[in-house]
Structure 1
Amino acid sequence: MSRWTIDEPTTLDFDGVVALRVTLIAGSVSVLASDERPSVMVGGVEGPPLVVTHEAGMLTVTHEKLWEGVLGWLRNQKVRAEITVTVPRDCPVSLNLVSADAVVTGTTARTSIKSASGGVTLDGVAGAIDANTVSGAVEAQGLDGTVSFTSVSGDLTLAGASVERLAARTVSGRVAADVDLSGSGGVEVNTVSGEVALRVPASTGAQVTLNSAAGRIETPFPLDRQERAVSRSVSGKMGDGSGRVAVNTVSGTIALLGRDDDAPEITTPRMEK
């Protein structure tokens, strides 16, 4: 095993990387898919040094004396690092973050992110994507694969995504997604008070179920609507019904919107307050 302790700007190169794991308290980490030689570039370190290890292709970056660093950060002491990592496109990525921000671009294997309050940006990422946050927001464009998102108050924003499956669960976080469903793909969103806005091509085939106890449900699609004293629901079949769209919320507003099939997938839908 090769091991480095880093407390100043440094660049390291590696012969091969088959998996990446980064644990960061504060600062930022950028993971860039590249055909070039894998590398770690540290722009700056405050607080505990970083420890970089490389063993059997597994590349790991974390703080030395991690728990002491967390306690120092909680006491408002300076604990942060700025990191850029280049990896092969098919390299699985695992990020464990406290308040650090993250950017991941171009990877095609599994991407797993756990964050407390840091913001996450995904660009052109494919494969299985799993993001868990407390209050951190996830913004993404050009995704292709499966997406799982769980948060307390963090927002999820997807633009131009082609998904086999999108599963999102939040308490008060907002979910806004402009997506294509591939084949029999499905979208399932559950929130307590978070708003949900989905936009899909007008030709999408899906079985649709939209339920809200107290929130509005808005859609231009010709679906069956039921209004009860304690709940509202919209359901029915779009196109050939091959996919599935299901949204359940207690008090959040739901909007299911359509777009022309040749319309650009640039922005995510917005709902009127």
Structure 2
Amino acid sequence: MSRWTIDEPATLDFDGVVALKATLIAGSISVLASEERPSVLVGDVEGPPLVIGHEAGMLTITHERLWEGVLSFLRTHKTRAAITVTVPRDCPVTLNLVSADAVVTGMTARTSIRSAAGDVTLDGVTGDIDANTVSGAIEAQGLDGKVSFTSVSGDLALAGGAVDTLAARTVGGRIAADVDLAAKGRIEVNTVSGEVALRIPESAGAEVSLHSAAGRIETSFALDREERAVTRSVSGTLGDGSGRLSVNTVSGSVALLGRGDPSEIGTPGMEK
């Protein structure tokens, strides 16, 4: 195994990378799809040095004495690094972040993200995405595939692209998605108090079920509405009903809107 300890700006190149796993306390990491030779560019390191390993195509990046670094970060906020990684677009990516921010672009394999407070931007990622945050936000555009999102208070915003499956669960985070729904695709959103705003093509085919115990439900589609003393629901069939779209909240508001022009993509607004 090749191993480097980095405590100052540096650049490393590799013969081949088949998977990337990075753990970062604070700072930033950018993962870029590239046809060029895989590389790691370290622009800044503060606190414990980085340890970079490369074995059998597995590229790993982490802070030296990681847990000591976490404790030091909590005490002094001086553990951080700025990293840019280029890898083949079909390279699976795993990121574990404490408060570091991340950008991932152009990847086609599975992307897995665990973040406490760091924000994540995804651009043109077409592989399966698994994102779990505490308070960190996920913003994405041009996705195509399966998206799984779980958070406590972090927000999710998707704009553009198509999803086969969107499964989003949050306590208080807001969910906003303006996407195409693939044939037989599924969108399932569950929140406690988080607001939900979805926009899909008016031509989409799906069985729709929207429920909220105390929140407002609005839709531009002609669906059946039912209001009881303690719950509100809207349901019905769009087009051929081949897909499924369901939203369940306790007190969050729900908005389901349609758009006629597939090229008219934008993230739907939300009330504060």
TM-score interval, normalised by the smaller of the two chains: over 0.9
Aligned residue for 2:203, secondary structure, equals: coil
Q: Which amino acid aligns with 1:269?
A: P
Deviations 1:193-213 (A, max 9, x none): 000000000000000000000
Other structure's SS at 1:185 match: strand
Shift of 1:6: 0.2
Q: Are residues 194 and 77 of structure 1, via their aligned partners in 2, closer, same or farther at CA, if it must alter by over 3 Å? A: closer
- Gap regions ≥5 residues in structure 1: none
Give 1:37's aligned amino acid. Answer: R
Question: Counterpart of 2:241 in structure 1: which amino acid?
Answer: G
What letter corresponds to residue 63 of structure 1 in structure 2? H
Q: Distance in 2 between matches of 1:104 and 1:183?
A: 27
Which runs of structure 2 are paired with 1:247-262 in the superposition (5 Å)?
247-262=247-262
The residue identity in structure 1 corresponding to 2:44 is G
Percentage of matched positions with identical amino acids:
78
SS at match of 1:70: helix
Alignment of 1:40-51 (within 5 A): 40-51=40-51
The 8 Å contact of residues 196 and 252 in structure 1, kept in 2 or not, is answered as yes
For residues 34-85 of structure 1, the C-alpha deviation after alignment (integer angstroms, 9 at most, x for no partner) is: 0000000000100000000000000000000001000000102410000000
Give the equivalent residue in structure 2 for 1:167. Answer: 167
- Give the distance between the partners of 1:41 and 1:146, measured in 2 at CA: 30
Equivalent-residue separation in structure 2 for 1:187 and 1:268 (angstroms):
16
In the alignment, which residue of structure 1 is the partner of 2:182?
A: 182
Cα distance in structure 2, aligned partners of 1:165 and 1:76: 41
Distance in 2 (CA, whole Å) between partners of 1:199 and 1:95 is: 29
Residue matched to 2:238: 238
Structure 2 distance, partners of 1:194, 1:63, is 34
CA distance in 1: counterparts of 2:237 and 2:157, whole angstroms: 25
**2:29 equivalent in structure 1:** 29
For 1:124, the aligned partner's letter is: G
SS in 2 for 1:89: coil
Distance 1:184 1:75 in 2: 50
- What is the Cα deviation at residue 127 of structure 1? 1.2
Measure the CA separation in 2 of the matches of 1:215 and 1:199.
18
* Superposed structure 1 runs of 4+ greater than 6 Å apart: none
The size of the alignment, in residue pairs, is: 272
Q: Which amino acid aligns with 1:245?
A: L
Structure 1 SS opposite 2:246: strand
CA distance in 1: counterparts of 2:76 and 2:31, whole angstroms: 27
Alignment map for 1:118-267 (pairs within 5 Å)? 118-265=118-265, 267=266
Shift in Å, 1:220: 1.3
Q: What is the deviation of 1:262?
A: 3.5
Contact 1:203 1:261 in 2 (8 A): no
Q: Could you tell me how far 1:264 is from its partner in structure 2?
A: 1.9
Secondary structure at 2:215's aligned position in 1? Answer: coil
What amino acid sits opposite 1:91 in the alignment? C
Question: 1:162-220 CA deviation, whole Å, 9 max, x = no partner?
Answer: 00000000000000000101110010000000000000000000000000000000001
**Structure 1 residues 113 and 224, CA gap change in structure 2 (3 angstroms):** same
TM-score (norm 1): 0.98
Q: Which amino acid aligns with 1:203?
A: S
Tell me how far apart the structure 2 counterparts of residues 260 and 77 of structure 1 sit (CA, whole Å).
48
Aligned partners of 2:55, 2:88: CA distance in 1, in Å?
16
**2:267 match:** 268
CA distance in 2, matches of 1:139, 1:271: 15
- Who is 2:85 aligned against? 85
**What is the alpha-carbon distance in structure 2 between the residues aligned to residue 42 and residue 147 of structure 1?**
30
CA shift, 1:272, in A, is 4.3
CA contact (8 A) 1:212 1:252 kept: yes
Q: Which residue does the alignment assign to 1:62?
A: 62
The aligned residue for residue 38 of structure 2 is 38
DSSP-derived class of the 2:163 partner: strand
- Partners of 2:19 and 2:103 in 1: how far apart? 17
Seen in structure 2, the aligned counterparts of structure 1 residues 179 and 262 have a Cα distance that, compared at 3 Å, is closer
Flag structure 2 segments of 5+ consecutive residues without an equivalent.
none
